[in-house]
Amino acid sequence: MVFVTDRTQALGAGPRVRIQTPTLTGSLALTGSRIDDLFLTKYRETIDKDSPAVELFRPEGMRHAFFAQFAWGGPNIPGGVPNVTTPWQLTQGSVLTPTTPVTLVWDNGQGLRFTRRISIDNEYMFTVSDTVANFSPRTVTLSAVSGIQRQGIPDDLGKNHVLHEGAIGTFGADGKYATTQLKYGAWAKKPNEEHS
């Protein structure tokens, strides 16, 4: 992947919705409905008052992109389901604030209409609520898929005072689940290892 170093260029890759709260500022991408541009407004990288705000999320295209994404899965769905490249349409709201949620809609052209309402409180809590309207003659089985994705291994790996740096996932089915922790160092040696 080719990385851009300019945040403005990465953010200009598609339409966006601004996010503004007393504690956060940034934007979400309408392509894929990703929350991928987010900063803490009350905290700085250093104690210098002119230091940059602490970055929580970084858009894809930049080195070490880090974002929250929400999608759907389902077997043999004519027209498909929303994924990371879906062009969502903003149908309600213009800026995501604690008093103004936004509503996004995508129609798959085969009878399924997906509606996503995103709201945020005065602090840091996002709520993403999805509904699906089935206007097709078919019964469909869907599952919601969401997660936080970090691309690449952080430059400051091992310099933080945390118990675990890496990926954490819970996998399983039929009521039998196990949580797996993958440390970044081991992950770098086997980046395509699958877990289920």
* Average pLDDT along the chain: 86
d(CA 191, CA 186): 8
Spatial separation of the C-alpha atoms in residues 195 and 88, rounded to whole Å? 30
Listing DSSP states for 73-107 in one string gives E-TT-TT----TT-B-EEEE-SEEBTTB-EEEEEE
- The mean-pLDDT minimum among 19-23, 73-77, 159-163 falls in 159-163
Which residues have C-beta within 8 Å of that of residue 182, sequence separation ≥ 6?
166, 167, 168, 169, 193
Mean pLDDT lowest among 35-44, 59-68, 129-138: 59-68
Higher confidence at residue 31 or residue 3?
31
Please check the confidence at residue 189 and state whether its pLDDT lies above 60. Answer: yes
Write down the domain spans for the chain: 7-152, 153-196
Query: Which tops the pLDDT comparison, 9 or 116?
Result: 116
Provide the 3-class DSSP secondary structure of residue 21.
coil
Residue 110 has pLDDT above 90, yes or no: yes
- pLDDT value for 193: 64
Q: Is the CATH number of domain 7-152 1.10.3720.10?
A: no
